[in-house]
Structure 1
Amino acid sequence: MKENGNEKLRILLADDHPMFCEGLVATLQSVEELEVVGIASNGEEAVRLAEALQPDIVLMDVSMPGLNGIEATRVINRVSPHIGVLMLTMFDDDSSVFSAMRAGARGYLLKGAQKNEIIRAINAVGGGEAIFSPTIARKMMYYFDSIVGKTADHALFPQLTDREREVLSWITQGLSNAEISRKLGLTLKTIRNHVSNILNKLQAVDRTQAILIAREAGMGRKPGES
């Protein structure tokens, strides 16, 4: 993502509703630091244009003809993981939200979002953050709270070593690498290696997705809690 504040964030729109796209383009073009570089009307076109144009961000609808937005997001993350995908859709059901997150989306907004909320989300994703609309954030918190404790942590993710599972548990608590290093009495380099192994084994694109995968599976208690 852009680190130079003087460079524009390049955006690809993926939506099959021309009138919505027209309004969204007008909204984005009114912001000096944003640039719309392409519009895709289906998932296949979104994948093709993402690879060809290499935008910073794809604003992706969920429901589109042919390849849907979630599958397109999965392909884009596999081919160009540096591109941030921000879902902008009418769908707020659990299946769409969590499927999009598992596919690697960096954020999820509903189409009723205000202009300033959309711009803020684009800038956040452009800065490497993950962001969700208040409605989606509450849905995720409720979902995670409802599953915590259902499965013992030691029974989760058999592909991880005991130490990697312990590090993942601390990651789900929101601790940074430096904080985990101090907690476990290990060097920062060792923790970084563990985190890299965890992301690879979970096939997660970043810490946010690893947290989502871990909490969805039931991991959420701090190490040592029963």
Structure 2
Amino acid sequence: MFKQLCPETERLDPLQLRATFCRVQVLIVDDSALVRRLITAQLEGTGRFDLVMTAGDGNEAIGLAELMQPDVVLLDLSMPFLGGLEALPLVLSVAPHARVIVMSGSPSDEMAVRALAAGAVGYLDKGPQLHLPAVIDAVLGAA
């Protein structure tokens, strides 16, 4: 997790982390190339996040999570081949320190409960008001 990558920051809160040289590594997983680009632009615009890589489905996510060991995984719920809910425990098995935030374009309480039960630390609506840097700060602050 972030604290393991940057041990000198383990006592800092998310606001203090902004001033450090260490940046949070993020893996973005979504079947929409447009959504991946929009999320990438939002995170890169802050200067606080290293975009590890992007994946278009759950199978790619598992391989990249194992290889890159990201701090945070933004995981779309509905994807072809292997959906987010199915990929979630597999991602956590290969990157156990990652904090996984599940995203959905059509949120439902039932799916949120299932995602959280499977190990996600958050469940978000991919609506226009989504401000991911603040969400990631909150998730890392709860670590």
CA contact (8 A) 2:88 2:118 kept: yes
Looking at structure 1, the residues matched to 64 and 42 of structure 2 have their Cα atoms a distance apart, in angstroms, of: 21
Query: 1:96 is matched by which residue type in structure 2?
Result: M
Looking at structure 1, the residues matched to 38 and 51 of structure 2 have their Cα atoms a distance apart, in angstroms, of: 12
Matched, 1:112 2:127: yes
Q: CA offsets per residue over residues 202-222 of structure 1, 9 Å max, x none?
A: xxxxxxxxxxxxxxxxxxxxx
CA contact (8 A) 1:9 1:33 kept: yes
3-state SS of 2:54 partner: strand
Query: 1:123 is matched by which residue type in structure 2?
Result: D
| Aligned residue number for residue 140 of structure 2 | 126
Matched, 1:37 2:52: yes
Cα distance, 1:113 vs structure 2: 5.0
Please report the TM-score for the alignment, with normalisation by the length of structure 1: 0.53
CA contact (8 A) 1:44 1:72 kept: yes
Q: CA offsets per residue over residues 113-143 of structure 1, 9 Å max, x none?
A: 535x3211111222344xxxxxxxxxxxxxx
Query: 2:48 is matched by which residue type in structure 1?
Result: E
CA contact (8 A) 2:70 2:95 kept: no
| Aligned residue number for residue 91 of structure 1 | 106
Query: 1:89 is matched by which residue type in structure 2?
Result: S
For the pair shown, the structure with the greater C-alpha radius of gyration is: 1
Q: Which of the two has greater helix per residue?
A: 1
Cα distance, 1:28 vs structure 2: 0.7
Cα distance, 1:25 vs structure 2: 0.8
Matched, 1:20 2:26: no
Query: 1:126 is matched by which residue type in structure 2?
Result: L
Looking at structure 2, the residues matched to 113 and 50 of structure 1 have their Cα atoms a distance apart, in angstroms, of: 27
Q: Which of the two has greater strand per residue?
A: 2
Please report the TM-score for the alignment, with normalisation by the length of structure 2: 0.82
3-state SS of 2:50 partner: strand
Equivalences, count:
128
Query: 1:121 is matched by which residue type in structure 2?
Result: V
5+ residue gaps, structure 1, are 130-226
CA contact (8 A) 1:14 1:61 kept: yes
CA contact (8 A) 2:27 2:73 kept: yes
CA contact (8 A) 1:14 1:41 kept: yes
5+ residue gaps, structure 2, are 4-8, 10-16
CA contact (8 A) 1:77 1:103 kept: no
User: Which of 83, 93, 97 does residue 82 from structure 1 map onto?
Assistant: 97
| Aligned residue number for residue 53 of structure 1 | 68
CA contact (8 A) 2:65 2:94 kept: no
CA contact (8 A) 1:43 1:72 kept: yes
| Aligned residue number for residue 2 of structure 1 | 2
